Structure 1
Amino acid sequence: MKKILSIFLLLFLFNLNFSQELLATVQVNSQQIGGTNQSAYKALEKSLRDFINNTSWTGKKLQNFEKIKSNFAIVITEREGNRFRGNIVVQAVRPVFNTTYESPLINLQDTRFSFDYVENENLIFNERQFSGKNLIDVISFYIYIILGYDADSFQSMGGTQWFQKAQQIAQNGESQNTYEGWKLIKEPRGRSVLIKEIMSPNWSQVRATMYTYHRAGLDNLFNQDQAAAKKVIFDALMQLKMYENTFQQSYYFNLFLDNKSDEIFNIFNSGNNGGIALADLKNEMTILAPKYTEEKWSKWKQ
């Protein structure tokens, strides 16, 4: 019995520490600005891929299967010398226990993205100060956001140490006036706004929901009897009811529901909901994520 308990404990601890580095793909798309010389963009793509995947962000040495699968897609829309402007899409997924399914952790587009880059320059990250070029600052910020999201999904408030690093990068970014995306005012979907809300006690229930939804709910959803896991997910989502009057202003809250809307719909659209009050969840999702009502929530059948 002791041996069985020890094995269970090791597996549990493994899952709590799962995925604390990144296994990232990077794409740099320059089609909008044309030109035949693509060497700078290919060099940028390789440099970023090496920077993200070869930097030790957490101090842990992990096998590839333990790392967080992520993607950074950059679209360049303007170039003036070594100054580039465009947008970046940041995506990451989380494995679900005992399945091949990967749950979306984060999927966002940052349209306030500009940076300076010289072909083949070394990318070196210093979390204590702003780089002066914005490229590694934005990338590193989102890496720590991904690490925080992932850790929050395995342990309650487990991402705090990584979110604190993202917060420090954002504060460094706020101190300069050259690049957009770091200001707390007039940039409602900016980077500083996102990390401020993540770290705010006012939105701590969203972080608590991240943990319960994934660790107690999703990781048990593929058992033979799904009813218990669905009830956990249902209860976790219903806890968000407290934000009915404030969610419109929150980037973090709306990002969570945007990232999870398809998954939430599919979980409760497959039948066998174990007698949960689906009408209550439908009403709650209609209030909190009204833009998905027609294509998702209204299609749920009790």
Structure 2
Amino acid sequence: MKKLIAILFFALSLPSFAQDLNCRVQILSPQIQNTNKRPLEELQIAISEFLNNRKWANFELKPEERVDCNLVITLKSWDGGSNYQGEAQILSSRPVYGTSYNTTVLSLNDKNFDFSYTQGQPLDYSDQNYQNNLSSILAFYAYVIIGLDADTFGKMGGAPYYAKAQTVVNNAQNAAFAGWKAFEGLKNRYWLAENLNNKSFAPLRDILYTYHRLGLDVMSEDLNKGRKAIAESLPELAQLDKQKQGAMLNQVFFSAKADEIVDIFSKGNPMERTKVYNVMVDADPANTSKYEELKKLR
């Protein structure tokens, strides 16, 4: 009896490894001719378990608080062994208070999702050093997703996770795979981490908080108040885009929010719609055709 009590006490004293992500992983291989797709199915399971069964956040999340996200990997080539080349779509969302609506927080396409993986290989990861490209990419986006989610609930709440994402980038500087280095382009993992940790982009992170916590989360109780908070936060986008034209973080925000902004203000008054239209066309000219809808409404 004493032995049983000791075992139970030991089990209850073990640390709790709560899950932080609720990530749906999908691997598509339309260009792969290999008829044996079993290794791809196992790879999909391995990635899902790696993301969903690890502790990424610095605080405990209840099961219903886990961050919803999607990772869709489209393979362009596979040698039938351990070498894969592809790209990935990374999406994350969070619920809006008082509604059944989930708002997109991150929508990003990574065109350098290349890695080596042997069937049955355990996916190991350490913040201390680079072990393999697949686990490093997955850890990087896990930290970015958690960080962005935290920024929408508390001002600058994502800072610890962006620092960890930066550590992943730093550790991968000697990797043989693309996506980690500054000179490889302006829209890769290096620049996303740089922007998220750069104080020059603090205004955009402030907007993330105002937009979600003081805007969307308020709209179920006071539609006009929530919409006004969002409208008043947006002019900062145009100013930031002038200072950091074409910056990756700006584009990440517009990719996630352009359609939603049109939807939110399509229900506003003409003066408000015109104001938002002018701001967004100035800040995000690439999506002008979407914002034109605000001018068509009467």
TM over 0.5, shorter chain: yes
1:1-302 alignment runs, 5 A limit: 21-58=20-57, 60-80=59-79, 81-131=81-131, 133-176=132-175, 178-223=176-221, 225-271=222-268, 273=269, 277-300=272-295, 301=297
Flag the 1:39–1:196 CA change in 2: closer, same or farther, 3 A. same
Q: 2:262·2:290 contact (CA, 8 Å) conserved in 1?
A: no
- Provide the C-alpha distance between the structure 2 equivalents of 1:38 and 1:107, rounded to a whole number of angstroms: 28
- Provide the C-alpha distance between the structure 1 equivalents of 2:151 and 2:118, rounded to a whole number of angstroms: 36
- Unpaired runs of 5+ residues, structure 2, are 1-17
Give how far 1:57 is off.
1.4
Q: Please state whether the residue corresponding to 2:55 is helix, strand or coil.
A: coil
- Provide the C-alpha distance between the structure 2 equivalents of 1:59 and 1:229, rounded to a whole number of angstroms: 30
Give how far 1:61 is off.
4.4
The CA RMSD measured in Å over matched residues stands at: 1.8
Q: Please state whether the residue corresponding to 1:100 is helix, strand or coil.
A: coil
- Provide the C-alpha distance between the structure 2 equivalents of 1:60 and 1:232, rounded to a whole number of angstroms: 29
1:185-219 CA-to-partner distances (Å, cap 9, x unmatched) read 13211101111011111111000100011001110
1:224-249 CA-to-partner distances (Å, cap 9, x unmatched) read x4111111000111222322423432
Q: 1:27·1:72 contact (CA, 8 Å) conserved in 2?
A: yes
Flag the 1:55–1:246 CA change in 2: closer, same or farther, 3 A. same
Q: 1:154·1:211 contact (CA, 8 Å) conserved in 2?
A: yes
What is the count of residue pairs matched by the alignment? 279
Q: Please state whether the residue corresponding to 2:217 is helix, strand or coil.
A: helix
Match of 2:7 in 1: none
Q: 1:25·1:70 contact (CA, 8 Å) conserved in 2?
A: yes
Provide the identity percentage.
Answer: 29
Give the TM-score normalised by structure 1.
0.88
- Provide the C-alpha distance between the structure 1 equivalents of 2:188 and 2:95, rounded to a whole number of angstroms: 28
Flag the 1:199–1:276 CA change in 2: closer, same or farther, 3 A. farther
1:83-104 CA-to-partner distances (Å, cap 9, x unmatched) read 1100011111010001100000
Q: 1:23·1:64 contact (CA, 8 Å) conserved in 2?
A: no
Give the TM-score normalised by structure 2.
0.89
Moved more, 234-243 or 138-147: 234-243
1:128-168 CA-to-partner distances (Å, cap 9, x unmatched) read 1111x300000110000000000000000000001110000
Match of 2:13 in 1: none
AA of the residue aligned to 2:90? V
Q: 2:277·2:291 contact (CA, 8 Å) conserved in 1?
A: no
Q: Please state whether the residue corresponding to 1:24 is helix, strand or coil.
A: strand
- Unpaired runs of 5+ residues, structure 1, are 1-18
- Provide the C-alpha distance between the structure 2 equivalents of 1:183 and 1:283, rounded to a whole number of angstroms: 35
Moved more, 79-88 or 104-113: 79-88
AA of the residue aligned to 2:87? N
AA of the residue aligned to 1:96? V
Q: Which 4+ runs in 1 deviate beyond 6 A?
A: none
